[in-house]
Structure formats: C-alpha cells, structure tokens
Amino acid sequence: MNSSAKPVVWITRKLTDNTMARAAQKYEVIDNPEDRTFTGDEIIELSRDVDAILPSHSEVIDARVSAALSDRIKIIANHSVGTDHCDLKALGARGIVVTNTPDVLSDATAEIGMLLMLGAARRAVEGDRMVRTGNWTSWSPSFMVGTQVSGKRIGIIGMGRVGQSMAKFCRGFDMDVHYFNRSKLTPEREAGATYHDTLESLLGVSQFLSLNCPNTPETIGIINARTLALLPRGAILVNTARGVLVIEDDLIEALQSGHIAAAGLDCFQVEPGGNPKFAPFDNVFMLPHIGSATRETRDAMGARALDNLDAFFAGKEPRDRVA
C-alpha cells in the first residue's frame, strides 16, 4: 500500500449511513449495497484487494479461510461482540489483528431478553394470533392465564456485560437474581445477585433461565436433556446468546412433557432460518436474532469497529483487540 493512499477496507454488510459516511472519510471503502452473504471462497478472493475487513458474524472466517487470506490483510475489525465466526488462533498465527465491539450492545440485547421472557410467560404468540385471526370471541377469569414475571427468581448463565444488563432490568421487575459465571463478580457488579459456583446449583432454583454466555467449547450444548431436567417444573428459558448453547431436540421434548412451560428464543442452531420444529408451539416466542438491532446500537457498533481500525492504522493498539 502506498503510504500516502487511504487504506482499503471491505465492509462486508450494509451498515448504517453514519458508519459508512465516517468510514469514507479515512478509507477507500468496498461496500455491499445488496447486503448479501459471502462464502468462504469469496472472502478469500476479495481479501486480495483490501488491507482490512470489517465483517459481521455472518462472515465465517474459519481455519481454512484464515490460512488462505491474502498477506495484504492486516486487521479484521468485527462488527459484533461475538467472535465465534472467526478462528482466532488461526488468524493470530497469521499475524492478523482481530477486534470486536463490546459494551455498546448490552442494553439492546437485554431489552430483547426481557421481551422474550415476557412474551413467553404471558402467552404473546397465542394471544397475538387469536386477535389477528378474529378468533377472540370470549373472555373469562380463566382466559389466557400465563406466568407472572415480577417477583420471580431468575438464573443467568454468563454474567458479562449483557448478563449484567439483563440483571439490571430484572431487578426493575423485582426479580430475585441468581447467576453462574466463570468467576464471582465484585459486590458492586453483583448488585445483590446471588452467585452459584456450579451450574447445577443455579438450575435448581431458576424459575426463569436466561442464557447470556459466549459460544465456547465448554458452553456448546450446555442446555440439554440433563440440565433441563434440573430446572424446576414450569421453568421458562430465554436465549439471546447463541443457538449452539441449546440442544434443540431436547428442549422440544421438555416443552412437550410440560417440564419447561415456555421459551423465548432469539437465536438458533441454524441461522438464518431457525428451527421449523418450534413453529407448532404457541408457548415458544421467537425472534430472528435481532438482539442488538436498534438504530442507536448499530451506529455505536459501527463507530466502535471504526475506532479499532483508526487506532490500528495510526500505529496504536486497538482498544478491543481479541487476537
């Protein structure tokens, strides 16, 4: 790259106008106005023409792709908190810097967690369909009775930024917050929450269970037939983290048996698309992985990714470096 030329940055998905306008000030931008998803081979091919990639979690940069990226690539500045779509070890071996966008999407994702929890508990899918189809024809005290959220006990798996935001909102509903995490938080961050040093201990008291942990080898399939059985009968599951945390067939069996009363799901093992096996269940409230999808958060994510690029090309250590 000519030292006087702008670095060439490939922004793989359609980002906000504010993000694109800022990017154009310092970089020669290759964009994706059609907002399509790229295959691994396409990522490899396009890497020959750019100095940096600003991808989303839809672009899978696994070991094979990492090994074949152009030597011209110096940094991958993710437009996401999660980095499970990137093989950090393989990219690190190539000397490619990788960053993410923490902090800025915690509240937005926790808002979706609350929406899912309330929607699942209060039979939103069933009620919405009833009104839309003109089938709301009667009322009685026994009509559409759901589960009250306020005052209940919630277990949170993963008390990072999103988990702490979820706990903050749950306290607003006067919920009793319990959590399982790799380590105990400081009293200030716990804010009165109860720590469990084993997953089994947490599950046993969780009337509601919120998944807010990352996708790691230890957490894949953490919600399965065994762990679901440890929840109190009638518990409600919420997942705003990653679909691979849940063995979906096991969850379906638990819903069919009535052991799990309802579920609120924003992520699935197959994305996009989800799992059509959930479709017949009125007690499963589903969204298409939109936890961070607010205008404010998308602007903040774009700004954070560009902050990392700016730092790197200025010869500084990016704030959010993960590899």
Alpha helices in the chain (DSSP H): 17-26, 40-46, 63-68, 88-93, 106-121, 124-132, 161-172, 187-190, 199-205, 225-230, 248-257, 295-313
Catalytically annotated residue among 242, 248, 298, 304: 242
CB atoms within 10 A of CB 147: 18
Strands 284-286 vs 97-99: parallel, antiparallel or unpaired? unpaired
User: What gap in Å lies between CA 2 and CA 77, rounded to an integer?
Assistant: 21
The pTM score is 0.94
242 is catalytic: yes
From first to last of the 323 residues of the chain, give the pLDDT tens digit: 445 589 999 999 999 999 999 999 999 999 999 999 999 999 999 999 999 999 999 999 999 999 999 999 999 999 999 999 999 999 999 999 999 999 999 999 999 999 999 999 999 999 999 999 999 999 999 999 999 999 999 999 999 999 999 999 999 999 999 999 999 999 999 999 999 999 999 999 999 999 999 999 999 999 999 999 999 999 999 999 999 999 999 999 999 999 999 999 999 999 999 999 999 999 999 999 999 999 999 999 999 999 999 999 999 999 999 99
Active-site residue among 42, 126, 190, 271?
Answer: 271
Q: Is the dihedral of CA 84, 85, 86, 87 positive or negative?
A: positive
CATH number for the domain whose boundaries are 106-286: 3.40.50.720
Please report the pLDDT score of residue 3 as a whole number. 52
Catalytic-residue membership of 200: no
* Alpha-carbon Rg for the chain in angstroms: 22
For the stretch 186-209, what's the b/e string if a residue is b when 16 or more beta carbons lie within 10 angstroms of its beta carbon? eeeebeebeebeebebbbeebbbb
Domain pair 8-104+295-313 / 106-286, same fold: yes
With CA atoms as reference, report the closest residue to 170 among 116, 249, 105.
Answer: 116
For domain 8-104+295-313, which CATH number applies: 3.40.50.1450, 3.40.640.10, 3.40.50.720, 1.20.140.10? Answer: 3.40.50.720
Q: Where are the domains of the chain?
A: 8-104+295-313, 106-286
3-state SS, residue 141: coil
Single out the catalytic residue among 22, 123, 289, 304: 289
